[in-house]
Homo-oligomer: A and B are copies of this chain.
Amino acid sequence: KHIRMGNLPVDTLRPLDPDTFAADSSAVVDFLAGYYRDVDKYPVRAADLEPGRLRKLLPDAAPEWGEPMERILDDVRRDVLPGLTHWQSPTFFAYFPMNASAAGFAGEMLSVGLNVVPFVWVASPAATELEGVVVDWMARLVGLPDRFVFSGGGGGVLQGSTCEAVVCTLAAARDRALRGIGHEGIVRLVVYASDQTHATFQKGARLVGIPPANFRVIRTTAASGYALTGNAVRAAVEDDEARGLVPLYLCATMGSTGLGAVDPVRELGEVARRHGMWLHVDAAYAGSAAICPEYQGYLDDAELADSVSMNPHKWFLTNMDCCCLWVASPATLTAALSTYPEYLKNVDGPAGGAKAPPAGVDYKDWQISLSRRFRAMKLWFVLRRYGASGMRAYIRRHVAMAEWFERAVSADERFEVVAPRRFSLVCFRLRPPSTDQASDDGGVNRELVAAVNASGRAFMTPFVVDGKFVIRLAVGGAMTEMRHVRDAWELLQRTAEQLLGQR
């Protein structure tokens, strides 16, 4: 019964043997449960920052023979963990949060284990339909207008990142514009964003072939809370039109990366509409807050937007990666992204079969790649396991902590809050000792954040705005509690005291 190849019985390896699977997986579950129990004992930022350390520890070639799971997990513990920054640590306040949760993990495991590829509806109808359902649920929760849900003529998709969402919508806007002016018009297309817009936008514009000289980075100021204004965009657009250029795409942000600023979506939508531009709303981080009525106004205003994106993998307990992209016109998106290769035809009729959305949606035509993971499962698990009210309480808990921190900073005259806090991000600094240092190179604030991070007891990242070096404290970890924020503030105060004392 055995087929043999050389000396090896070729049926030795049974990669999905249920018993081995259960044993190996249970070992990892135990490992992770222990990790969560102890994560606050690790230095939150990687303890070991020696370049090449891990490479030196590992052999130059893959092992010839398989090894037991325990040995591999021991190596993870000994060699890999010290070189990781612990994004799930309750004292991680850097960048933006990247949430993990038991439900997000469970949903992702299920999707990874089933390992289906719902690239066309027919390749796993339930996976496509579940995705359509959960993006509709999310659209309703964050208060998006009807035009972004399937029954309203729009629809959503789960992608991996905002950059993918931006690339896809830029390509859709570009192809729509080029149908009118011909492909050589690509060098006349102009895109607009603010100096607070995520870097991903310029990268995306460059990827789809917009000339780098045609990216307009519009300056924002403290007066508008570092938000774009309709007037500033209009001025830039009219200037470009006068030079024979073609305004293509405007990116508005709800909750900018540096400062948490919010661009006025309705006002920008009116400018975009008047000049035939695509308006995208990037709500990557703060879109999660819009599930709370007190934050819903921001996305109500998306009535004039062509697309909106937000990342449940940031602040919505959905493990990496998961980005919701909604578009008002699926046909414009798929016109830029669809393919019908031969090997997808003739399976139960044309690819996609019936065309009543979202049943007939072939999600390969809504994204960059052909293949895709079953991401809907994990977002569905998060929504069902925690419910809308659980998620609102979760968001509000972080906002309350950030409010507390903001009040604490404001009450200490050595410090100042640099930009208005809207969500769970607080931007602050030690006041410069004299006015001539208002525009400093970081100075004591640079030393402050470096010392805090080196302590391993909190991790924050800095930002520079108007020449001011500021420290960002982004609350949003799944395990972050009030005491962690209080400890971080005490650590900042103590460290500041030492640094100021040395001067």
Proximity string of chain A (135-165) to chain B, C-beta cutoff 8 Å, 1 when within and 0 when not: 0111011000000000000000000111110
In the bound complex, do residue A87 and residue B117 qualify as a contact, i.e. CB atoms below 8 Å apart? yes
A83 at the interface (CB under 8 A from B): yes
Task: Find residues 106-132 in chain A having any chain B CB closer than 8 Å to their own CB.
Answer: 106, 108-110, 112-117, 121-127, 129-130, 132
> 5 new A-B pairs (CB below 8 Å) besides A52-B354, A82-B126?
A16-B88, A16-B102, A24-B102, A51-B121, A348-B450
A338: nearest chain-B partner, CB-CB: B203
**A61, chain B: closest CB distance, angstroms:** 6
In the bound complex, do residue A49 and residue B353 qualify as a contact, i.e. CB atoms below 8 Å apart? yes
A360: nearest chain-B partner, CB-CB: B51
Q: Which residues of B contact A126 (CB under 8 A)?
A: 46, 48, 53-54, 79-84
Proximity string of chain A (340-360) to chain B, C-beta cutoff 8 Å, 1 when within and 0 when not: 111111111000011010111
A29 at the interface (CB under 8 A from B): yes
Proximity string of chain A (384-428) to chain B, C-beta cutoff 8 Å, 1 when within and 0 when not: 111111100110110010000000000000000000000000000
Considering residues A36, A51, A212, which has the most beta carbons from chain B within 10 angstroms of its beta carbon? A51
**A76, chain B: closest CB distance, angstroms:** 7
A28 at the interface (CB under 8 A from B): yes
Task: Find residues 1-41 in chain A having any chain B CB closer than 8 Å to their own CB.
Answer: 3, 5, 8-22, 24-37
Q: Which residues of B contact A21 (CB under 8 A)?
A: 29, 32-33, 36, 102, 105
Task: Find residues 30-72 in chain A having any chain B CB closer than 8 Å to their own CB.
Answer: 30-37, 46, 48-49, 51-55, 58, 60-67, 69, 72
A137: nearest chain-B partner, CB-CB: B62
Q: A55-B132, A117-B98, A141-B62 are in contact. Are A317 and B209 (CB under 8 A)?
A: no
In the bound complex, do residue B46 and residue A33 qualify as a contact, i.e. CB atoms below 8 Å apart? no
In the bound complex, do residue A3 and residue B35 qualify as a contact, i.e. CB atoms below 8 Å apart? no
A301 at the interface (CB under 8 A from B): no
| Secondary structure dominating the interface of A | helix
Docked pose: A164 CA to B95 CA in angstroms: 25
In the bound complex, do residue B108 and residue A66 qualify as a contact, i.e. CB atoms below 8 Å apart? no
In the bound complex, do residue A16 and residue B100 qualify as a contact, i.e. CB atoms below 8 Å apart? yes
Q: Give which listed residue, B53, B184, B258, contacts A129 with CB less than 8 A.
A: B53
Docked pose: A320 CA to B321 CA in angstroms: 13
**A72, chain B: closest CB distance, angstroms:** 5
In the bound complex, do residue A64 and residue B388 qualify as a contact, i.e. CB atoms below 8 Å apart? yes
Docked pose: A206 CA to B335 CA in angstroms: 11
A222 at the interface (CB under 8 A from B): no
A369 at the interface (CB under 8 A from B): yes
Q: Which residues of B contact A332 (CB under 8 A)?
A: none
In the bound complex, do residue A371 and residue B321 qualify as a contact, i.e. CB atoms below 8 Å apart? yes
Docked pose: A17 CA to B33 CA in angstroms: 8
**A253, chain B: closest CB distance, angstroms:** 13
A289 at the interface (CB under 8 A from B): no
Q: Give which listed residue, B81, B161, B372, contacts A370 with CB less than 8 A.
A: B161
A482 at the interface (CB under 8 A from B): yes
In the bound complex, do residue B15 and residue A34 qualify as a contact, i.e. CB atoms below 8 Å apart? no
**A172, chain B: closest CB distance, angstroms:** 11
Q: Which residues of B contact A9 (CB under 8 A)?
A: 393
In the bound complex, do residue A84 and residue B116 qualify as a contact, i.e. CB atoms below 8 Å apart? yes
In the bound complex, do residue B163 and residue A370 qualify as a contact, i.e. CB atoms below 8 Å apart? yes
A493 at the interface (CB under 8 A from B): no
Q: Which residues of B contact A115 (CB under 8 A)?
A: 87-88, 98-100, 319-320
**A325, chain B: closest CB distance, angstroms:** 13
Q: A12-B390, A124-B46, A124-B83 are in contact. Are A211 and B183 (CB under 8 A)?
A: yes
A472 at the interface (CB under 8 A from B): yes
Considering residues A115, A164, A358, A462, which has the most beta carbons from chain B within 10 angstroms of its beta carbon? A115
Q: Which residues of B contact A83 (CB under 8 A)?
A: 124-127, 129
